[in-house]
A and B are shown apart, each in its own frame.
Chain A
Amino acid sequence: MRIAYIAANTFREAVRDRVLYNLIIFALLMIGSSLLLGQITIGVERELLVNLGLTAISIFGVLIAIFIGIGLVSKEIDKRTVYTVLTRPVQRWQFILGKYFGLVSTLAVNTLFMAAGLFAALLFVMRRFQHADVYVLVAIFFILLQFIMVTSFTMLFSSFSTPIESAVMAFCFFVIGNFSEDLRALAAASTGAVKIFASAAAYLVPNFSALNISSSVAHGEAVAGRIILLNTGYAILYSAAMVAAAALIFQRRDMK
């Protein structure tokens, strides 16, 4: 389908972008350095490795999602490359969807490599795998869910603002999203205008609080299957809404 072709092209573009490699190298360095730190502190090697490793994967993935995401639409328009695509039998929403899936697959492949790195380091430190490592996998899956959400709202911003503005807004959404549970608690405890604003914000920003299970997983805690299901559904629905909004804006836009 055309969406797949556009996605493949976006993937190819991302892979040929130098930014990607710099960030991957940094991430792997971080994982490597946590091995070193593990030698220094006693008894917490696994905890440290899992915490630091997951944080590295998460942060650098989000950086990639934002850095490439801000250009997904605006770059095509600025560079006029969009003209020869949209005059072909491609619908506007197909274009947006293709670009979105292209970046998401880039992130997925990326995460795969970094996860392999992390598990290799884990094996090196612990000499064998334990049952609790399954939940590290769940944590990585949750990080991937965060990526699909970050990409979705970054793309939305990219469809109507300049790259710098999009980057700033996306970053803000990411940070606030990590405290979204606190925001909802604040909304529940307040009244009047504050309550309305806080509630709107609390449901508009992505709920990353529930997806940041790095610390609990580092402690070997389990994750309930129901939670995994709910979070997956939520991430998909939220992203769908954002991407649809991006498509709507792009639909109505004149190319000049």
Chain B
Amino acid sequence: MNSFSNKKASIALTITIVVCFACSVLLLRKIDVARGPGLIRESLYISSPSALKRMSLGYTGLLADIYWTRAVQYFGSHHQRSAEEYNLLFPLLDITTTLDPKLTVAYRFGATFLTEPPPQGAGQPEKAVELVKRGIERNPYDWRLYYDLGFLQAWDLHDYLAASKTFEKGSQLPNSNPALKVLAAAYASRGGDLETSRLLWRSTYETAANEAIRQNALQHLQSMKADDDVSALEKVVEQYRVKTGSLPASFSDLISAGLLRAVPTDPTGRPYKLTADGKIQLQDPDAMPFITKGAPPHWKPKITIPKD
């Protein structure tokens, strides 16, 4: 074989291609890590969303999708590390909805996750309201945005009358979900009691299309049930103490005393714990981050990725 064969050259070139490309991929990954949130920051360097819209030369829909993807990615990466701030979420959603005012999911996402306090969300309910109100201006026939506004007014602003009115208005739109009528009535007559809240979260869980929003609603429902359970169980413990004069050592004591039928489990299926001083605690409070009772001392809510 002479040293000038085409085959040798082809092999050498093929090896060069593979090696160089592989190394380029490795370096690219390093660059991505080094840049971190650089892309998001740079996304916001435009002077204003409307200026960006003008510069996008008619490709506003596509650009809106790109910014929406960036918003979701930003939220996801912050969510994963239980961030304490989500400062760029509103600006990103602002740009997204300016570019495409009809992108309903962006308003809905903002309604939920701008409101939730950190580390679940941005903790900026006023911004959420601003976003949803803008959404209603641009999409006056979309009942889902009325739902979101009513939700915010009820849950965050505690303005039950306004919430009721909003739900009522939304229920009159074509194709609206019957839950709106029910919620309108509930908030008009009963204000913000526990039952109404439960109704609210259940409606959200049943009507929302976005998976993240549904999961969030589910966690609220589970947390509320857990709260109820903890209250009820602590009452049972109290009954036992009155009856026997001492605290139960375990659930078996309560069962033998005829006060319980079986070891109680929380909404995620884990059994409750009975502490030495007669309090009820959750095995894994992180699974239901919205609980107000049954948490061990010094516990702070963290993000868990809900298991399917």
A231 at the interface (CB under 8 A from B): yes
Stretch at the interface among A1-9, A125-133, A178-186: A178-186
Q: Is the CB of B42 within 8 A of A224?
A: no
CB neighbours of A210 from chain B (8 A) = 31-32, 35, 38
Select one of B24, B28, B31, B39 contacting A227, CB under 8 A: B31
Question: Given known contacts A238-B20, A241-B20, is B27 in contact with A182 (CB within 8 Å)?
Answer: no
Q: Kindly state whether residue A119 has any CB partner on chain B within 8 Å.
A: no
Interface status of A252 (Cβ within 8 A of chain B): yes
Q: Which of A26-34, A99-107, A243-251 contacts B (4 or more CB under 8 A)?
A: A243-251
Interface size for A (C-beta < 8 A) is: 38
- Residues in chain B near residue A181, CB distance under 8 A: 32, 35, 39
Q: Is the CB of A234 within 8 A of B34?
A: no
| Chain A interface main SS type | helix
* Complex: A107 Cα to B253 Cα, angstroms: 85
What residues of B have a CB within 8 angstroms of the CB of A247 in the complex? 13
Whether A184 and B24, one on each chain, are in contact in the complex, defined by CB atoms closer than 8 angstroms, is no
The answer to whether A230 has its CB under 8 Å from any CB of chain B is yes
Q: Report whether B13 and A248 are in contact in the complex, using a CB–CB cutoff of 8 Å.
A: yes
- Closest CB-CB distance, B237 to chain A, in whole Å? 46
Using A179-B66, A215-B42, A238-B21 as known contacts, say yes or no to A184 and B9 having CB atoms under 8 A apart.
no
Query: Is B298 interfacial (CB-CB < 8 Å)?
Result: no
Is the CB of A110 closer than 8 A to any CB of chain B? no
Interface size for B (C-beta < 8 A) is: 32
Q: Tell me whether B39 and A244 are in contact (CB under 8 A).
A: no
Which residues from A are CB-within-8-Å of B25?
203
- B34: A residues at CB distance < 8 A: 224, 226-227, 230
Given known A184-B32, A244-B17, contact A230–B27 (CB-CB < 8 A): yes
Given contacts A216-B45, A227-B35, A237-B21, contact A244 B16 (CB under 8 A): yes
* Distance, CA A213 to CA B25, complexed state (A): 21
Tally of contacts, chain A with chain B, CB under 8 A: 88
* CB <8 Å contact, A248 and B14: yes
Residue pair B73, A248 in contact (C-beta under 8 Å) = no
Establish whether residues B16 and A207, one from each chain, have CB atoms under 8 Å apart when the complex forms. Answer: no
* Any B CB within 8 A of the CB of A219: yes
Interface mask (A186-203 → B, CB under 8 Å = 1, otherwise 0): 100100000000000001
Contact of B21 among A185, A226, A241 (CB under 8 A): A241
Nearest CB on B from A219, distance (A): 6
Contact with A along B42-56 (1 / 0, CB 8 A): 100111000000000
Instruction: Please state if B28 and A234 are interface contacts (CB–CB under 8 Å).
Output: yes
Task: Tell me whether B256 is interfacial, beta carbon within 8 Å.
Answer: no
Q: Is the interface of B mostly helix, strand, loop or mixed?
A: helix
Decide: B24 and A189 in contact? CB cutoff 8 A: no
A251 and B9 form a contact (CB under 8 A): yes
The answer to whether A182 and B69 have CB atoms under 8 Å apart is yes
Instruction: Verify A237–B35 contact, CB threshold 8 A.
Output: no
Min CB distance, B179 to chain A, in Å?
A: 30
B13 to chain A, nearest CB (A): 4
Give the residues from 44 to 81 in chain B that come closer than 8 angstroms, CB to CB, to chain A. Answer: 45-47, 66, 69-70, 72-73, 76
Inter-chain contact B70/A182, CB cutoff 8 Å: yes
CB interface residues, B 70-128, toward A, < 8 Å? 70, 72-73, 76
Q: Please indicate the chain B residues that have their CB under 8 angstroms from the CB of A44 in the complex.
A: 47
Cβ contacts under 8 Å, A216 to chain B: 38, 41-42, 45
Given A215-B45, A240-B20, A244-B20 in contact, is the A185-B73 Cβ separation under 8 Å? yes
Q: Give the residues in chain A near B45, CB-CB below 8 Å.
A: 215-216, 218-219
CB of A52, distance to nearest CB on chain B (Å): 12
Question: Is B69 within 8 A of A185, CB to CB?
Answer: yes
152-210 of chain A: CB within 8 A of chain B: 179, 181-182, 184-186, 189, 203, 207, 209-210
Chain A residues packing against B (C-beta within 8 Å): 44, 91-93, 179, 181-182, 184-186, 189, 203, 207, 209-210, 212-213, 215-216, 218-219, 224, 226-227, 230-231, 233-234, 237-238, 240-241, 244-245, 247-248, 251-252
- With A230-B27, A233-B27 given, name 19 new contacts (CB 8 A): A44-B47, A91-B9, A182-B70, A186-B69, A210-B32, A210-B38, A212-B42, A227-B31, A227-B34, A230-B34, A234-B27, A234-B28, A234-B31, A237-B20, A237-B27, A241-B20, A241-B24, A247-B13, A251-B13
17 A-B contacts, Cβ less than 8 Å apart?
A93-B9, A179-B66, A185-B70, A203-B28, A210-B35, A212-B42, A218-B45, A227-B31, A227-B35, A230-B27, A231-B31, A237-B23, A240-B16, A241-B16, A244-B13, A244-B20, A248-B17
